[in-house]
Chain A
Amino acid sequence: EIVMTQSPATLSVSPGERATLSCRASQSVSTNLAWYQQKPGQAPRLLIYGASTRATGIPARFSGSGSGTEFTLTISSLQSEDFALYYCQQYNDWWTFGQGTKVEIK
């Protein structure tokens, strides 16, 4: 099983600042990597697939990069609605998720 490790577990950021979330795979997943956002009581929402392609309707302030084993999700200027839990997921070999990064207001 491919293990996905996200860091940090919690990220404290002020509105308007940049947030950088990391995700590492225990073996190469090529660019078969997705990012999801989840808010309390809501369904997870797909943000990024193919490591860097924004899903439909996702604002341009969200960007993804990386390939192989190292990936990054960047939120260029945090808005109030962006404070949430973020998961990475590999879909190269079935599916496994990271433990999540909580982005909270500083």
Chain B
Amino acid sequence: EVQLLESGGGVVQPGGSLRLSCAASGFNFRSYSIIWVRRAPGKGLEWVTGFRGSDGTTYYPDSADSVKGRFTISRDISRNTLYLQMNSLRAEDTAIYYCAKASGEIGASIYFDYWGQGTLVTVSS
């Protein structure tokens, strides 16, 4: 059974840092991409960053408010865990953060077939 479990959310001051974890099980961690998606209060779902399992390449949206340069992904294969390091946090980063397993690898037309329950990040002074 595929499972994804996020942890690490909490309250942090603007400019601060937080590291989220996504513990995965039930599938080959190195054969699928994992995507971080967030939902800010009153807003829709937005993909934040994506990680290709086969080669560790990280992807970011081209949008103006992309987190590129502030958020980075790392992976511990021995623990089947993906980490999202979030630095220079802003109020607009406040959201529920989900990790989602993709149906394949980034580069193909892939959707998200399994999701975690999410972890809440609140950026506030």
Contact = CB atoms under 8 A, between A and B. Distances in A.
Q: Are both chains from one complex?
A: yes
Interface of A: 1, 32, 34, 36, 41-46, 49, 55, 87, 89, 91-92, 94-100
25 contacts: A1-B61, A32-B109, A32-B111, A36-B115, A41-B117, A43-B98, A43-B115, A44-B98, A44-B100, A46-B112, A46-B115, A49-B111, A87-B45, A89-B45, A89-B111, A91-B109, A92-B109, A94-B47, A94-B61, A95-B112, A96-B47, A97-B44, A97-B46, A98-B44, A99-B44
Contacts of A45: 115
Tell me whether chain A's interface is mostly helix, strand or loop, or mixed.
Answer: loop
Interface in B45-95: 45-47, 61-63
Given A1-B63, A95-B47, A98-B44, A44 B109 contact: no
Nearest to B63: A1
Nearest to A34: B111
Contacts, number: 55
Contacts of A97: 44-46
B26 to A, nearest CB: 13
B95 to A, nearest CB: 13
Nearest to B3: A43
Contacts of B46: 97
Contacts of B111: 32, 34, 46, 49, 89, 91, 95
Nearest to B59: A94
B35 A46 contact: no
Contacts of A89: 45, 111-112
Contacts of A43: 4, 98, 114-118
A43 B118 CA distance: 7
Interface in B1-58: 4, 35, 44-47
A87 to B, nearest CB: 6
A97 B37 CA distance: 10
Given A44-B98, A97-B46, A55 B116 contact: no
A82 B5 CA distance: 24
Given A42-B117, A46-B111, 11 more contacts: A1-B62, A41-B117, A43-B115, A43-B116, A44-B45, A46-B112, A46-B115, A49-B103, A89-B112, A95-B112, A97-B45
